[in-house]
Amino acid sequence: QQQVKQSPQSLIVQKGGISIINCAYENTAFDYFPWYQQFPGKGPALLIAIRPDVSEKKEGRFTISFNKSAKQFSLHIMDSQPGDSATYFCAASPNHRDEFDRGSTLGRLYFGRGTQLTVWP
Partner 1 sequence: ETGVTQTPRHLVMGMTNKKSLKCEQHLGHNAMYWYKQSAKKPLELMFVYSLEERVENNSVPSRFSPECPNSSHLFLHLHTLQPEDSALYLCASSQDYARGDPKNIQYFGAGTRLSVL
- Binding marks (x or -) toward partner 1, 45..64, rule CB under 8 A? xx--x-x-------------
CA atoms lying within 13 Å on the CB side of residue 13: 25
CA distance 47 to 90: 10
Which of 66, 84, 85, 114 contacts partner 1 by CB under 8 A?
114
For residue 9, state whether it binds partner 1 (rule: CB under 8 A).
Answer: yes
Q: Sheet containing 19-25: which strands, arranged edge to edge?
A: 4-7, 19-25, 72-77, 62-67, 56-59
Pairing type for strands 56-59 and 19-25 reads unpaired
Task: Point out which span in 13-21, 37-45, 54-62, 66-74 binds partner 1 (CB under 8 A).
Answer: 37-45
If one asks whether residue 102 binds partner 1 (CB under 8 A), the answer comes out as no
Can you give the binding site for partner 1, defined by CB under 8 A? 2, 4, 9, 31-32, 34, 36, 41-46, 49, 51, 89, 93, 95-96, 105-114
